[in-house]
Structure 1
Amino acid sequence: MSRSLLPGAPLDPGLQPERTRMAWSRTSLAFVANGALLVHAGHVPDGWWYMLPGCAVMAAGCVVYAVGLLRHRQVYRAVRAGTPVSGDSAIRATLLTAVAACVLAAAVLLGRP
């Protein structure tokens, strides 16, 4: 039942879920770090609203981390059961969030006095 890319090598069912967890963690860290940079870039006197996009991106990073935890569990269960891992809606939603973060970053940097 367990297969590997190398003949005779055992399949470690813990590797794929761990790679998934680490990838989602790195993605969420990137969101939070870029959100912090946006907050810093939007910090101007009497212009607190310029920091709102950065706060939104940091909040999105927290959501991405939570989705990553759920995705880790899903992948772990699928690998343990030997079933294919399906469902790419979380990946598409993260992509759309990243595009929105880029648009917000451009708005902050271009609209800053």
Structure 2
Amino acid sequence: MPRGTRLPGPPLDPGLQPERTRMAWTRTSLAFVANGGLLVHAGHVPDRWWYMLPGAAAIAAGFAVYVVGLLRHRRVDQAIRDGAPVAGDRAIRATWITMLVVCVLAATVLVTRP
């Protein structure tokens, strides 16, 4: 569908969907950062700094998810204003894969921790 073409159907409220999207990405990023902090705390073992790496990775991922959420918010907002489709799930898949990797690393550290 060409950019700027309105989709048929009831008029959309241009403020609600982008706002919900932004809030969902913000909650996801906060979950990454909070769990990363807990993992850093759980992985704190003297002379074994590498046990804190999954927590640091989760915190870094949280900040990255927040930035992606801001960019996605702008894109969704503009797509709704233009009447264009909002679909696109690369960021969602990347976030899911990142979460899975952090979980596997965290489980490995927590199981092998002395």
- Please confirm whether the aligned pair reaches a TM-score higher than 0.5, indicating the same fold: yes
Counterpart position of 1:13:
14
Q: Which residues in structure 2 correspond to 1:6-85 (within 5 Å)?
A: 11-85=12-86
Query: Structure 1 length as normaliser, TM-score?
Result: 0.90
How far does residue 45 in structure 1 lie from its aligned partner after superposition?
1.4
| 1:41–1:108 contact (8 Å) kept in structure 2 | no
How far does residue 48 in structure 1 lie from its aligned partner after superposition?
1.2
Larger RCO (alpha carbons 8 Å, 6+ apart):
2
Specify every segment of 5 or more residues in structure 2 that has no aligned partner in the other structure, as ranges: 1-5
How far does residue 3 in structure 1 lie from its aligned partner after superposition?
4.5
Alpha-carbon distance between aligned partners in 2 of 1:55 and 1:93, rounded to the nearest angstrom:
18
Alpha-carbon distance between aligned partners in 2 of 1:110 and 1:93, rounded to the nearest angstrom:
26
> Which runs of 4 or more aligned residues in structure 1 lie more than 2 Å from their structure 2 counterparts after TM superposition?
1-4
- Aligned pair count reads 108
Alpha-carbon distance between aligned partners in 1 of 2:12 and 2:104, rounded to the nearest angstrom:
42
SS in 1 for 2:45: coil
| 1:34–1:57 contact (8 Å) kept in structure 2 | yes
How far does residue 11 in structure 1 lie from its aligned partner after superposition?
3.2
Backbone CA RMSD of aligned residues: 1.4
Counterpart position of 2:96:
95
- 2:25 maps to a residue whose letter is W
Alpha-carbon distance between aligned partners in 2 of 1:50 and 1:68, rounded to the nearest angstrom:
29
Specify every segment of 5 or more residues in structure 1 that has no aligned partner in the other structure, as ranges: 5-9
Query: Structure 2 length as normaliser, TM-score?
Result: 0.89
SS in 2 for 1:26: helix
How far does residue 86 in structure 1 lie from its aligned partner after superposition?
2.1
| 1:38–1:108 contact (8 Å) kept in structure 2 | no
